[in-house]
Amino acid sequence: SMPPEMLMKIFSYLDAVSLLCVGCVNKHFYHLANDNGIWLKIYSSCFQPKRTIWKIKSEQTETASLGCAALHDRKPGYWKKEYIFKQIAAVKTRVMQLVKPVDPYTGLPCKNKEAMKASGLSWIIVLKDKNGKEHIMEKANPSFKDSSVTILWYSTNLPCLDILSTLKLFGVMPLLPDQSRAPSKNGPRRRSLIAEYQLANLTESSAAIGADKLVQLFSLNPGLLVGLWK
């Protein structure tokens, strides 16, 4: 295997999201990717001090000693946690600013769409069959209204309803939202369970609320419409 020093050198060129992903490979990589030196560099490049420090010799010595203290007096992973917490706090602040203006007619925030985009929020459906296998539906088409959000999933490659047991709806947020690009499916994300639905015997236990020659519509509480193509 590659020497730790060489791995650390490689890790030092990674961005925060890539470094978090590398730490999930195995225990050895996790410990190396927790290095305070690498994370302090990432933290410092992102959160620069507001005031300018004049480069006087005495102050350079003081800064160097503070840098050493920041590395050696902290447990491994300290600066990683500090970076993550501060990034999350920055996103929360941005979202709170966006949801402050309220529509006088609906009583709801005017910029829900912008706030959700700033947070990186998305939704996924997880279908579980009777053998315990999970089928994840990532791609969704959201439609934003003044007082609601409608999310649509569709596919012709889904498993047959007869073998499905449950459907779970999750809200998903990236751990480190990046405003400059779309959220990565491979990056670290947080799932939040919104609702769980039982699909076993759906057609027998639930009456169709609408149907034509091709599609049957079933309503599941709360707020889910399931369309079955014949």
- Write the pLDDT tens digit of every residue in 32-61: 999 999 999 999 888 765 544 444 444 444
pTM: 0.73
Distance of alpha carbon 21 from alpha carbon 36, whole angstroms: 17
pLDDT of residue 56: 43
Lowest-confidence range among 1-5, 58-62, 78-82? Answer: 58-62
pLDDT of residue 10: 92
The total of other beta-carbon atoms located within 10 Å of residue 28's CB is 11
Distance of alpha carbon 211 from alpha carbon 225, whole angstroms: 12
Distance of alpha carbon 190 from alpha carbon 168, whole angstroms: 15
Residue 20 has pLDDT above 60, yes or no: yes
- Rounded to an integer, the average pLDDT of 80-100 is 91
Torsion of CA 29, 32, 35, 37, to 10 degrees: -120
The total of other beta-carbon atoms located within 10 Å of residue 16's CB is 22
Q: What percent of the chain has pLDDT over 70?
A: 84
Q: What sign results for the dihedral spanned by CA atoms 171, 174, 179, 185? A: negative
Distance of alpha carbon 209 from alpha carbon 51, whole angstroms: 64
Domain ranges of the chain: 1-47+73-119, 122-199, 203-229
Give the pLDDT band (50/70/90) at residue 136. Answer: very high
- Rounded to an integer, the average pLDDT of 158-186 is 79
Classify domain 1-47+73-119 at the CATH topology level: Monooxygenase (1.20.1280)
pLDDT of residue 127: 94
- Separation in Å, CA 24 to CA 18, 29, 80, 162, 192: 10, 7, 14, 36, 21
Residue 80, both tokens: 């990683």
The residue that leads in pLDDT, 176 or 170, is 170
